[in-house]
Amino acid sequence: MRIDSKFEHTARLANGQRVHIRLLRPGDEALILDGFRQLSEDSRYERFHGAVTALSPEWLRYLAAVDQQDHIAVGAYSDIDPPHGLGVARCIRLADDPRSAEVAVTVVDRLQGQGLGTLLMGLLVVAARERGIDHFRACVRGGNVAALALVKGLTPRVTSRCSAGEVDLDVDLSGVTEAELPLAAAHPTRALLRLAAQGVPFRPPKDPEPLKPSAHPEAP
């Protein structure tokens, strides 16, 4: 399996909600903005390490400017029409260390704790390793217990360093196997990851119709 522009997956979260997952692509700026508007003040602070009340045009272009080689992003959106952005896991390859990438995961508040962050992170690991990345680096606020648990849950091979209330994490993905990824055995993505580990090609569905992002996000 290769997680590329044709990859698309549908999953059901712990609360029963269906979500669609694929790589971000050009034209997804409105979905990214829709997801941002659903984040609480605390979630925005955790993601951007500061008080951010709006995404500037420059920030939005940066978040949407994914080439899926050096800037990889896996996104989730709702199955309603028009769809809503629900979460993104992304990593950006380091220029001075091309086998390493900085990683970040964001999930809208109402779906936090439902397994979406874990699902996105697991697929991001597969996509990153397919592109020659075997180390993730992350800077997480010390009080962000959920994010720390998510990153550390990828593998026991994590080193951390605390400084000024933040935790710098280095995650060694080089020896991570499908069985080590933090996905429940019954999760539909487990089957996809097992196929990837076995080198079995994945035949995705036909390319979806272009998304028409909502201008009015759902209330958290």
Domain boundaries of the chain, sorted by first residue: 8-198
Distance of CA 117 to the CA centre of its chain: 7
Mean pLDDT, the chain, rounded, equals 77
pLDDT single digits (tens) 150-195: 776 776 777 777 776 777 778 888 876 655 554 433 344 444 444 4
Least confident of 57-61, 89-93, 198-202: 198-202
pLDDT band of residue 51 (cuts 50, 70, 90) is low
Pairing of strands 135-141, 166-172: antiparallel
Ranked by mean pLDDT, the top range of 16-30, 37-51, 168-182, 191-205 is 16-30
Is-contact 139 167, C-beta < 8 A?
A: yes
Phi, psi angles (nearest 5°) of residue 69: -130, -55
pLDDT of residue 53: 75
Say if residue 217's pLDDT is above 60. no
What are 220's strand-pairing partners?
A: none
Verdict on whether the full-model pTM lies above 0.85? no
pLDDT band of residue 142 (cuts 50, 70, 90) is low
For domain 8-198, the question of CATH label 3.40.50.300 is answered with no
pLDDT of residue 137: 87
Is-contact 1 192, C-beta < 8 A?
A: yes
More confident residue, 66 or 210: 66
pLDDT of residue 96: 95
What are the angstrom distances between the C-alpha of 45 and each of 48, 76, 77?
5, 21, 22
Q: How far apart are CA 212 and CA 77, in angstroms?
A: 11
Radius of gyration of the chain (CA): 16
